[in-house]
Amino acid sequence: MKNITALPAALLLGASLSVGTAQAADEAECIAPAKPGGGYDLTCRLAANGLLETGLIEDPMLVTYMPGGIGAVAYNHVNGVRTDDPNLIVAASTGAAVNLALGKFGQYDASEVRWVGALGVDYGAIVVKADAPWQTLDELMTALQEDPTQVAFGAGGSVGSQDWMKAALTAKAADVDPRSLRYVAFEGGGEALAALLGNHIQVFSGDLSELKSQLESGDIRVLAALSEERMGGPYAEIPTAAEQGYDVQWPIWRGYYMGPEVSDEAYQAWVERLENLAGNETFAELREARGLFPMARFGDDFDGYVKDQVADFKELAAEVGLTQ
């Protein structure tokens, strides 16, 4: 008995021995510009575990945390200190693109770094409680048009964050001024979801992947997915906003960038590495386990996508009165 219980302990410590070695100079590294456990951590782990399990890299990839301003600290670090590190990728997402557009990343803009690719995407969702009076997005929009002050929106981010954008875009699609909304900023989607279940807010503009358990239990109704087309699996029943006549899309991509002075060879090597990974079946399972949908944009394609997106967001921010 004693020997058997000691076995897993020894195994685990042994494994931590091999994983935890100090970083060597030529080892791949991913900076998660957040605290451990957040969305960026997940983004880095997706690449790290995926590349290792599919054999695309030999040594485990190091994940470093650099929290601050939804990626602003890491962005400045990569643009100022580790500008040409061929082994370093940094996690980014739609949230980072929004902040780049709002000028919250300091002196640098989106064209500074080299965007490598995205490995997965999540989509925004407009959610109400199961016993809410609105059955479709259209009914909610009509109610909003009649009196926007009767419907309180909530989400896990402040004004100007990507969570807020989902609410603002939805209001805009109904010709309602986003400023006349009732909007409540919570600390993360979990708190906002709790507030929805407790009847403190009426609409939650969240992400599809964080709704799985409430969908199963039937506590909530998703009025619209903010995706191009219907998603599969547990989300098959959810209509898109476009289907219901409202042109709102909100993909939350999870991707990576590299420093501005990284050589073309190193950049190209990473593009190929991620491309190979995205095509792998083992990786597809990993991605799904993290609640992400497939997305495949790499290299110049992704670079252009991000830059276009930032430009769009800039326009949008000016339109809704966030910037001049």
Footprint (CB under 8 A) of other proteins, residues 305-324: 321-323
Binding piece for other proteins, criterion CB under 8 A, among 40-48, 115-123, 225-233, 256-264: 40-48
Footprint (CB under 8 A) of other proteins, residues 239-278: none
Selected binder of other proteins within 59, 130, 136, 190 (CB under 8 A): 190
Contact code string over 83-112 relative to other proteins, x by CB under 8 A:
---------------------xxx------
Closer by beta carbon to other proteins, 136 or else 145? 145
The DSSP output letter for 238 is P
For position 45 contacting other proteins by CB under 8 A, the verdict is: yes
Structure tokens at 314: 């800039």
Footprint (CB under 8 A) of other proteins, residues 200-229: 200-201, 212-214, 216-217, 219
First to last CA, the chain: 71
CA–CA separation, 279 vs 269, rounded Å? Answer: 16
CA–CA separation, 27 vs 15, rounded Å? Answer: 18
For position 25 contacting other proteins by CB under 8 A, the verdict is: yes
Binding piece for other proteins, criterion CB under 8 A, among 58-66, 133-141, 235-243, 272-280: 58-66
Closer by beta carbon to other proteins, 17 or else 264? 17
CA–CA separation, 103 vs 269, rounded Å? Answer: 30
Smallest gap from residue 189 Cβ to other proteins (A):
9
CA–CA separation, 215 vs 219, rounded Å? Answer: 7
Residue 274: how many CB atoms within 10 A of its CB?
Answer: 26
Contact 127, 63 (CB under 8 A): no
For position 236 contacting other proteins by CB under 8 A, the verdict is: no
Contact 20, 60 (CB under 8 A): no
92-115: string of b/e by CB count within 10 Å (b at 16+)? bbbbbbbbbbbebbeebebebbbb
CA–CA separation, 125 vs 234, rounded Å? Answer: 14
For position 13 contacting other proteins by CB under 8 A, the verdict is: yes
Contact 245, 239 (CB under 8 A): no
Smallest gap from residue 243 Cβ to other proteins (A):
26
For position 7 contacting other proteins by CB under 8 A, the verdict is: yes
Footprint (CB under 8 A) of other proteins, residues 145-164: 149, 152, 158-161, 164
For position 49 contacting other proteins by CB under 8 A, the verdict is: yes
Selected binder of other proteins within 143, 174, 184, 269 (CB under 8 A): 184
Binding piece for other proteins, criterion CB under 8 A, among 20-28, 132-140, 244-252, 299-307: 20-28
DSSP states of 169-204 as a string? Answer: HHHHHTT--GGGSEEEE-SSHHHHHHHHHTTS-SEE
Closer by beta carbon to other proteins, 38 or else 251? 38
Binding piece for other proteins, criterion CB under 8 A, among 73-81, 131-139, 238-246, 300-308: 73-81
